[in-house]
Amino acid sequence: MFLEDSSDNVNELRRVFAWWASILILEMMILTWCTGRLRVKYKIIHSPEDRMWIEEPNAILHPDGNGHPEIRRIRTVHFDDLKIIMPFLLLIFVWYETSPNYLIASYVIRGFAICKILDTIFRMKIIDVPSIISVSTHIICHCILFYICVDTCWYYLVK
């Protein structure tokens, strides 16, 4: 248990979490920026107020937010990131209260972040890989999140 180890481990684990949480949040912010750039490139807006960003009078209005396959792909990736990264960032604090092993906790945090970044890169088709690899990184992220939930529930069930 890291809380019984040393304050150095506790502080190091906080630094590991702060670093990787910042990277994941930065990744989601980059996806937002990329979505905006694609909207300008393809001249597709999703509300009349967005016309001020595109000088072209023939900009296409798509209230559903899509309008082009590239925009649809990046929005899907961004939405999937929100669905898994936000619970991870919230649940990790509850998991810390269970005093997980320092080594396991640091690998879980790093593993989740690296797999999620790779999953985003693969699903955006920045790097073309077989779909099994993309699906594997997505499944690994869900398994890590599942592990955190089960470990936390088990701790409070046995305690």
Question: Who has greater pLDDT, 32 or 56?
Answer: 32
57-75, pLDDT tens digit by residue? 788 888 777 788 899 999 9
1: pLDDT strictly greater than 80: no
Cα(139)–Cα(143) distance, rounded to whole angstroms? Answer: 6
CATH of the domain at 44: 1.20.120.550
Query: What domain count does the chain have?
Result: 1
Cα(67)–Cα(63) distance, rounded to whole angstroms? Answer: 9
The pLDDT of 128-149, averaged and rounded, is: 96
Q: Residue 153: its pLDDT value, please?
A: 95
pTM over 0.85: yes
Tokens at 17, concatenated: 């979490």
Question: Which domain covers residue 42, as residue numbers?
Answer: 2-158
